[in-house]
Structure 1
Amino acid sequence: MPAVGKLLSHAWPGAGAAATQAKVNPYLGIDAMELLRRGVDAADALQRLICADPRADERQLAVIGATGPAVTWTGADCIAYAGALERADFSVQGNRLAGPHVLEAMAEAYQGSRDAPFDEKLIRAVEAGEAVGGDRKGERSANLLIVSTEEYPLWDIRVDEHEDPAGELRRLHDVFRDDVLPELLAMPTRGCPAGARDETGI
């Protein structure tokens, strides 16, 4: 669907991240963040959320705490192929995929990029999944959300409607890296309310 980034991805510094997919229930992501921030571990948080959702069989949910491991749920009524791969420090999941090889390609791309920055690892995983078939009906949107030490995101890029969302995500990523990220890194933080300033006053 268009605009997946608005509802699918959730993260909080020092707590973890969550993704809600398939028949999206945004509160799975919102409530996952609340539970993680309260110190509930990812597995317990996922179990509580799925048990409380009357349509859990139509949902996908992935949750990872600040120190891992990732845990996932794929309901029995998600559109095939639907599944997930869980790893100590990441997960990949999807529904209506060309097959399990899509998840395997994404995981391989992520793991094969260990020396790359985190944002680059995620982009490569998206590109790899699309390259081997991705969504059986094609992709229309993509997003990249990363939090670091602050409550505002370090990366928040959204492709809401595009014929080549992975390619457009890559293009926007490169623009963001060069033009936006330096500004974000100079913004006020909880520890440094004035922010970092250079000789231009930025």
Structure 2
Amino acid sequence: MTFSIVVRCERTGHFGVAAVTGTPGVGTLLTWAKADVGAIATQGWINPYLGIDGLDLLGNGHPADKALQAVVSLDDDRELRQAGAVDALGRSAAFTGGACADWCGHEHGDGWSVQGNLLEGHETLEACAKAYFDSEGKDLVERLMAALEAGEEAGGDRRGARSATVFVVASELYPLWDLRVDDHDDPLHELRRLSERLGETLLPQILKLPTRRDACGQLRADSDAGLV
């Protein structure tokens, strides 16, 4: 059904979740991330509370493996679930239930996790992870886009792709990026277009929004100066 990547950027500390699936609306319930806390992808037969409760546990200081183990253990349908998690220290964990559709599996390491089900094969996850690491030094959204594109090129979802998403949090409670293509014949191509377009238009505005340290933000100053 899906492949995804969950990361903590080693350079910035930002968290990201990105995914592609063969059904509509992947960004609605799969992506969970909170600044300074962690990130979780929940997929397969999705249980959103793996993400919701998992982030709560990460926020209370539980490492990724213990947090994921705890929420999965409470799910009576755990064998239908799949999830990946990264915590604030870059520790990662993943789970693939025994009833997930083949090919299914996961790989994870320091600061990252990739997972997928109903794939053409393991090559999708290998390509996804490799592209992420090969693009080190670039902005996180670009690294996640490269990972999705490489995974799709290597086989991707056996049914083809229908929706795609990239979600990134930086230092605030609102996201830095929340890109979604919910229903499209070529969702990755459209997601790439959106990332480039919104990188030029929306991102500069988001970077000027109020923050916890600056309640006014820069947009007000720009407005007063006639710049917006």
Q: Do both share a fold (TM > 0.5)?
A: yes
Runs of 4+ in 1 over 4 A off after TM superposition: none
1:30 is matched with 52
2:65 is matched with 43
1:110 is matched with 132
Is this contact kept in 1: 2:63–2:91, CA < 8 A?
no
Which of 172, 179, 182 in structure 1 is aligned with 2:201? Answer: 179
RMSD of Structure 2 on Structure 1 (CA): 0.9
Measured against aligned partners, the alpha-carbon deviations of 1:123-169 in whole angstroms (never above 9, x if no partner) come to 00000011111000111000010000000000001000011111111
Measured against aligned partners, the alpha-carbon deviations of 1:34-67 in whole angstroms (never above 9, x if no partner) come to 1111111111101101100000000001111012
> Residue 16 in 1 paired to residue 38 in 2?
yes
Q: TM-score, normalized by length of structure 1?
A: 0.98
Specify which structure has the higher proportion of strand.
2
In structure 1, the gaps of 5 or more residues are none
Which of 210, 215, 223 in structure 2 is aligned with 1:188? Answer: 210
Which of 140, 149, 155 in structure 2 is aligned with 1:133? Answer: 155
Tell me how far apart the structure 2 counterparts of residues 85 and 137 of structure 1 sit (CA, whole Å): 22
1:95 is matched with 117
Aligned length: 202
- Residue 9 (structure 1) shift: 0.3
Measured against aligned partners, the alpha-carbon deviations of 1:4-43 in whole angstroms (never above 9, x if no partner) come to 1010000000000000011000111111111111111111
1:200 is matched with 226
- Residue 201 (structure 1) shift: 5.0
2:78 is matched with 56
Tell me how far apart the structure 2 counterparts of residues 190 and 152 of structure 1 sit (CA, whole Å): 11
Q: TM-score, normalized by length of structure 2?
A: 0.87
In structure 2, the gaps of 5 or more residues are 1-22
More RCO (CA 8 Å, sep 6+): 2
Tell me how far apart the structure 1 counterparts of residues 109 and 188 of structure 2 sit (CA, whole Å): 23
Q: Percent identity?
A: 44
Is this contact kept in 1: 2:68–2:93, CA < 8 A?
yes
Tell me how far apart the structure 1 counterparts of residues 85 and 131 of structure 2 sit (CA, whole Å): 20
2:184 is matched with 162
- Residue 200 (structure 1) shift: 2.8
